[in-house]
Structure 1
Amino acid sequence: MTRLTEAAEGVYVIAVTPFHADGALDLESTDRMVDFYLEAGATGLTVLGMMGEAQKLTIEESQCVVRRILARVGGRVPVVVGVSAPGFAQMASLTQMVMDDGAAGVMIAPPSAARTDDQIVSYYAQAVSFIGDVPFVLQDFPLVTSVQMSVPVIRRIVNELPSCVCLKHEDWPGLDKITALRADGALNRRISILCGNGGMFLPEEMHRGADGAMTGFAYPEMMIGVVRHAKVGEADRGQDLFDAYLPLARYEQQPGIGLAVRKYTMARRGIIAHGALRRPGGSLSAASIAEVERLIARQEKRLKELN
């Protein structure tokens, strides 16, 4: 089993969880989705993230989804699993389950009740005491968790907990945070920084020293292309590619309906059979669908011009 390390780079696509129209798991679409992500060039996959509707799954369903994805991946790329939970016992149980099944590491978000630096650091130290030396991704997503992780807090976690191998950077604005963490002597070791927010700032994040992305978008090939161009010194080419997809990426980032937009588009592309969200979850209005279709048409036009 390949374990996640500080060398993680590229694009770890946040996988959606496909459902049938009645809310049941759609495992056939799950297989098709994994094939699509791998064919597009994903470096890894992240399962049961916040956009994977993990909070709507039972423990048994979570295990079923993870096992299905791991089996389909077949060890070709690392798979990270979100294990954030209300209690450490549940987190430890899910961690052991997915690592035994072949996951490369886990991702942990801080609890919304954590407010002080000491509370945040203590939470992760306690989490590690439950999950052992399993490599974990530190999820920094204050727009959702309401937890502000300063550079000194991240430094303490990285320096004190060797199993923290990656930062999922999703602060907004947060570009200066990347620069600060990449400064000489900022950390006692270099860790991977993979960025989120649907890739909305990916060109700038790569310029600041990020190693890639760990996020979702209905067209992950955009993020894969931007990262690839950045790594070979073709930042302008990556920016041109990013610009072609930006209007739809921006539309998909809307709070509340963003996941519905992503799933609608993925179903439209034939990646999954249905764009359904499990309840509670919204659906797109006719007006929203028309706007998405218009943005896709304009995007296709821009891509033809680029090529």
Structure 2
Amino acid sequence: MSGTRFHGVIPPMLTAFKEDGTFDWEGNEKLIDFLIGSRVHGIFILGSMGEFSRLDAQERKSFSEFAAKYINGRVPLLVGTGSCNTREAIDLTRHAKDVGADGVLVVTPYYWGLTEENLYDYFAAIAQAVDIPVLIYHFPALTGQQMSPQLVKRLATDFANIVGIKASVDSITYVRQLILEVKAVKPEFSVLVGFDDHLFNTLAMGGDGAIPGTANFYPEVTVGLYESFVKGNPAESLKWHRTLLPLLEVYALDNPPIGVIKEACKQRGVGIESFVRQSAGSLNEERKKQVSRILQKVKEATAVSRQ
């Protein structure tokens, strides 16, 4: 794991907005400072949790410029640059490099189903257009695209700057295949999971970390899990894993769960409001109370884990 460039807990950072839908720059600064102060191993902006699909290309560029300048090398910065339009993805990727990002996470195109050859051509075009590190963002539940481990292996072998994957899949078999097949030909390839509850078993199989949504508001749980594991204390890591499990109830409170994650940040005092861009929605009072109950449950479990 230590040989990979991107590893550990890399939160898919929320994008803080004001009530009128404009960027809340002060709130975003507070969130970044909170995450870095919690010892995360990087920050990923403009992913699904960052509401990239509700931003236009210029807004994505503006946010990338802000984040790169404010983070200022304190932790590695990954920028989401994927698009259904390959030319736009290349343009956003070049811009991310220009502003100083450490790498990009490129989601597969969505809407139309693509053959594996067309998916290969998409990532090949981006990798050939830039020399910045590229990570594949595989989220079949949202994109409808399937990328076999063999396709990922082919891309990682053919392009030196394709250096990792975020696998937002609920199949640990798929993650195992990535680790066994891709790392066999490219040991430094980063295998990161998007589902929080797969962090522990991914590490146990030789993977590299996670890009977990709950790290926006409770990063100490996944950071504690990762750090104890790599320090050779799997028993302590397992305690953190069990502490994490009730936290995942937040994902069942709304779809998409972005407003829930923002409300959890607000209730933890991170310094952002829970405004979301439509067509995502805000939470009613009962849902906010449910968030409070989950946070209290995890607070109690975290106290036990630290004993």
Same fold, judged at TM 0.5 (above): yes
Q: Which position in structure 2 is the counterpart of 1:139?
A: 137
- Which residue identity does 2:194 align to in structure 1? G
Aligned residue among 75, 92, 101 for 1:94: 92
- 2:259 is matched with 260
Q: 1:116 to 1:35 in 2, by over 3 A?
A: same
* Equivalence map 1:1-307=2 (5 Å): 6-112=4-110, 113-129=112-128, 131-173=129-171, 175-183=172-180, 187-190=184-187, 191-197=189-195, 199-217=196-214, 218-252=217-251, 256-306=255-305, 307=307
Please state how far the C-alpha of 1:296 moved relative to its aligned partner. Answer: 1.4
Question: Does the aligned pair in 1 maintain the 2:77–2:102 contact within 8 Å?
Answer: yes
Give the partner amino acid of 1:245. L
Give the letter for the 1:144 counterpart.
L
- Partner-residue secondary structure (3-state), 1:52: coil
Q: Give ranges in structure 2 of 5+ residues lacking alignment.
A: none
The residue type paired with residue 246 of structure 2 is: P
Structure 1 distance, partners of 2:270, 2:118, is: 42
The 1:254/1:117 distance shift into structure 2, 3 A limit, reads: farther
8 A contact 1:46–1:81 mirrored in 2: yes
Q: Which stretch shows the higher mean deviation, 283-292 or 25-34? A: 283-292
Contact in 2 for aligned 1:31/1:68 (Cα 8 Å): no
1:110 and 1:126 mapped to 2: Cα distance? 13
Distance 1:185 1:153, change over 3 A: closer
Separation of aligned partners in 2, 1:253 and 1:52:
18
Aligned residue for 1:296, secondary structure, equals helix
Per the alignment, in what secondary structure is the counterpart of residue 13 of structure 1?
coil
**How big is each residue's C-alpha offset from its partner over 1:212-259, in whole Å with a ceiling of 9 and x where there is no partner?**
112321212211111111112222212212222321223235561411
- Give the alignment's Cα RMSD to 1 decimal: 1.9
Indicate if the aligned counterparts of 1:82 and 1:108 stay in contact, CA closer than 8 A.
yes
**Paired residues of 2:150 and 2:181 also in contact (CA < 8 A):** no
SS in 2 for 1:201: helix
Q: Which runs of 4+ in 1 moved over 3 A?
A: 184-187
Residue type of the alignment partner of 1:165: V
Which amino acid letter does the alignment assign opposite residue 197 of structure 2?
M
Mapped partners of 1:96, 1:126: distance in 2: 12
Q: Deviations over 1:245-276 (max 9, x none)?
A: 32122323556141111000101122133111
Deviations 1:31-63 (A, max 9, x none): 111100100001111110011011222333222
Cα distance change on mapping 1:64 and 1:185 into 2, 3 Å: closer
Q: Return the letter of the residue paired with 2:21.
A: G
Change (3 A) 1:254 1:34: same
Deviation, 1:91, is: 1.6
Contact kept, 8 Å, 1:138 with 1:167, in 2: the verdict is: yes
In the alignment, is the contact (CA less than 8 A) between 1:109 and 1:140 conserved in 2? yes
- Residue 12 of structure 1 deviates from its aligned partner by 1.4
- Judge conservation of contact 1:200–1:250 (CA < 8 Å) in 2: no
Q: CA separation of 1:110/1:67 partners in 2, compared to 1, >3 Å: closer, same or farther? A: same
Q: Work out the CA distance in 1 between the residues paired with 2:297 and 2:136.
A: 37
Residue 185 to residue 102, structure 1, CA distance change in 2 (3 Å): closer
Count of aligned pairs between the two proteins: 300
SS of equivalent residue, structure 1 residue 51: coil
SS of equivalent residue, structure 2 residue 40: coil
Given the superposition, is the C-alpha separation of residues 253 and 41 from structure 1 closer, same or farther in structure 2, using an over 3 Å criterion? farther
SS in 1 for 2:282: coil
Per-residue deviation, 1:187? 4.1
Q: Identify if the C-alpha distance between structure 1 residues 9 and 186 changes in structure 2 by more than 3 Å, giving closer, same or farther.
A: closer
For the Cα contact (< 8 Å) 1:79–1:105, is it kept in 2? yes
Distance 1:79 1:60 in 2: 19
Structure 2: which amino acid aligns with 1:234?
Answer: N
145-154 or 27-36: bigger deviation = 145-154
Deviates more, 1:184-193 or 1:143-152: 184-193
